[in-house]
Structure 1
């Protein structure tokens, strides 16, 4: 069984799958972490393109299209990768592979056997997997557990009985929701959650944010039972902070400024007309 993600990142772990396969792995580092996975002879590891950091000399890396990942034609058409990195140990001795998180993130070992064999996650959260794990990218999120628009947040499903590694930016919190328990969270902060959670998505006062500024948050209402993993620093929020710090402020970079000015002129016009009408009366 995979060790919980909140244990010491320097402690080596051993994962035992339901097929009696044993995989040893070690999570290195404190923030921008690396997971080092031991591969026996002829064992394979599937990873996201660009995630491999280092590997032993007996490991062979191939960039292959895997049909069972069900990546979809539309993702390829709009520039998304439909291939995966397959790392196989061709030597007689044990080898190792180091998979790195693409951002300041914590790596979460997820034993799918503990979550009913499937879990939903953000498409950028998946790093790699061993044993029986399939990645379904074109998730149809119209069943009863999801409202319209939820597919914008969670687009990927992991199915199987193996071990998957996910990356959560910043600090990661695991919440176990009891039946009927409700949790409200910023939707972009959700790394992954079980399919048993009822998910409802809504905007957080969009007109008020247009007038007074601020980002338009998508608030998700989660109802148990189930498990959800929450990240403190989602990548879109981090990239926005970096862009604001680097780019010089201007009217062109702040289109909401024109809407605010137009609204102020409209309110001033309404107040003047109202005062004239009241004065005539």
Structure 2
């Protein structure tokens, strides 16, 4: 069946929030999607830098420094952006902004009012937001913070009563957990979850899995009640596969090549020393 033809620039899906506000948006595309959001007069849209694809002529774009985003100056020192792209509509007519997903995946519309005004998400998951939504870093930039919990894995928290849009790699599944219901997932596959879920990180018990490799090295046990969104292809996993494909053949086939070489020579040294000791005896 052919895709529907739109005679006007914008025929979106209109979402009516329980708080009374209406947000009109349209998600187009398959694997790499584009989000088009209608921006009303005197309304603003906040997006991650570099995600704007197009916008109407009555929209003004500006990059603003938001100290609550991404941990402030510490993130800038380590090479991450501490600014956000803000799109404001000063005209009397409605405008629109097209936001492109930065990697193959699905764009997820989230009304924070349906999740108690708070939502934990991955650092790369936030795409843009409309109205009253703040993005804060959940990782305290001090050495004394060594406890590993949901805030250390899901490094951002969304607060407010507005509309936020997240992006998950590959396909995205939504799991609604009943009270005391437990699900075990790969920690890297969690896009977002509600703060009511009890998060427990499980590290690999066998050291050889860390040395010689193995999938799902860090799993998380989630206990309801709450809602969790799970992605099939995390961005860092996709980037690792691409890096391996363009690396040297030996590194591409075995990314832990140097570790295995060191262990080989160490075991050879132990065997030689042991044989010499046994021969002397």
TM-score, length basis structure 2: 0.83
Post-superposition Cα deviations, 1:154-204, rounded to whole Å, max 9, x if no partner, equal: 110000111100000000011111111111111111100111111111222
Could you tell me whether the CA contact under 8 Å between 2:67 and 2:82 is conserved in 1?
no
Structure 1 segments unaligned to the other structure (5+ residues) = 1-10
Q: Is the alpha carbon distance of 1:203 and 1:273 closer, same or farther for their aligned partners in structure 2, counting shifts above 3 Å? A: farther
Tell me the SS of whatever aligns to 1:255: helix
1:265 counterpart = 2:268:
yes
Whole-Å separation in 2 of the counterparts to 1:200 and 1:273: 49
Distance between the aligned counterparts of 2:19 and 2:112, measured in 1? 13
Residues 210 and 260 of structure 1, relative CA distance in 2, 3 Å threshold: farther
Once the two structures are TM-superposed, the CA of residue 12 in structure 1 deviates from its matched residue by 3.6
The question of whether the paired residues in 2 share the 8 Å contact of 1:72 and 1:138 is answered with no
The 3-state SS of whatever aligns with 2:80 is coil
Aligned positions of 1:198-277 closer than 5 A:
198-205=198-205, 207-214=207-214, 217-250=217-250, 254-262=257-265, 264-265=267-268, 268=271
1:117-136 to 2 correspondences below 5 Å: 117-136=117-136
CA distance in 2, matches of 1:151, 1:82: 19
Take 2:269 and 2:209, find their aligned partners in 1: how far apart are those partners? 18
TM-fit CA distance, 1:265:
3.0
SS at match of 1:256: helix
Distance 1:238 1:180, change over 3 A: same
Change in 2 beyond 3 A, CA 1:165/1:265: same
Aligned residues: 263
Residues 39, 213 of structure 1: alpha-carbon distance in 2 compared, 3 angstrom cutoff: closer
RMSD: 2.8
Superposition deviation, residue 84 in structure 1: 0.7
SS of corresponding position for 2:241: helix
Q: Deviations over 1:213-234 (max 9, x none)?
A: 3357211111111111110000
Residue matched to 1:7: none
Q: Partners of 1:65 and 1:137 in 2: how far apart?
A: 15
1:101 is aligned to 2:101: yes
Give, in angstroms, the shift of residue 66 of structure 1. 2.8
TM-score, with structure 1 as normaliser: 0.83
